[in-house]
Chains A and B, each alone.
Chain A
Amino acid sequence: QKEVEQNSGPLSVPEGAIASLNCTYSDRGSQSFFWYRQYSGKSPELIMSIYSNGDKEDGRFTAQLNKASQYVSLLIRDSQPSDSATYLCAVNGPGGYQKVTFGTGTKLQVIP
């Protein structure tokens, strides 16, 4: 079992719709969870961090964490063509130090 799993996609959504990206992780002791956006040919950009169960909203983005189910998700409301990118889920292991494991990413395509 991979440590961090994501559906590779592509996930296609029409402009203005809600895009839902999902991620599961295997280490129950994980403490910090991140979503990165990576445009083709560019480096990953941190867009959301979440540390406790529940929802965290930032503009059009909402991160959701369920530690009991070992599940993290990212919702993008009012999706725009500029949101088309690969979204990487990342998990920081127990101990709180910097050993972050990344999923392979979900490619999102927002259709105008």
Chain B
Amino acid sequence: KAGVTQTPRYLIKTRGQQVTLSCSPISGHRSVSWYQQTPGQGLQFLFEYFSETQRNKGNFPGRFSGRQFSNSRSEMNVSTLELGDSALYLCASSHGLKGQKNTEAFFGQGTRLTVV
């Protein structure tokens, strides 16, 4: 069974540009969550999508957005990049249904974004 796949693995962008990151969840998983990880802040929750709907949202500015497709693949977009957006962006997939095992989340390898 394939794991969570994130592309690209590395990105270098210039301030002011925008970027799109992709996440393909484990087959059968309908929930995709996105996190930003920086050395100072740890893992910060961005948002969660389930069945093409944003179900939960963290405290990030509107420059951070996402979407989910009918095959559960998800994309995350960051517009007007700032230096502080440099981070490891992780997505995690789960079944996303109520019930204990359904909330177990598995991470992709991450996308390392560097803004210069």
Contact = CB atoms under 8 A, between A and B. Distances in A.
Interface in A87-102: 88, 92, 95-102
A100 B45 contact: yes
Contacts of A104: 41-43
A43 B110 contact: yes
B100 A43 contact: no
Interface in B90-116: 90, 92, 94, 96, 98-110
Nearest to A86: B42
Interface residues on B, range: 20 to 34
Interface residues of A, number: 24
B48 A99 contact: yes
Contact of A43 (B50, B102, B103, B109): B109
Contacts of B104: 34, 46, 49
Interface string A25-60: 000000110101000001111100101000000000
B107 A44 contact: yes
| B43, B45, B101: most-surrounded residue (chain A CB, <10 A) | B43
A98 B42 contact: no
Given A88-B43, A102-B43, A105-B42, A96 B103 contact: yes
B55 interface: yes
B24 interface: no
A34 B43 CA distance: 14
Interface of B: 31, 33, 35, 41-43, 45, 48, 50, 55-56, 88, 90, 92, 94, 96, 98-110
Closest 4 CB pairs of A and B: A104-B42, A96-B98, A102-B43, A99-B56
14 contacts: A32-B100, A34-B105, A43-B90, A43-B109, A43-B110, A44-B90, A44-B107, A46-B105, A88-B42, A96-B103, A97-B55, A98-B33, A100-B103, A102-B45
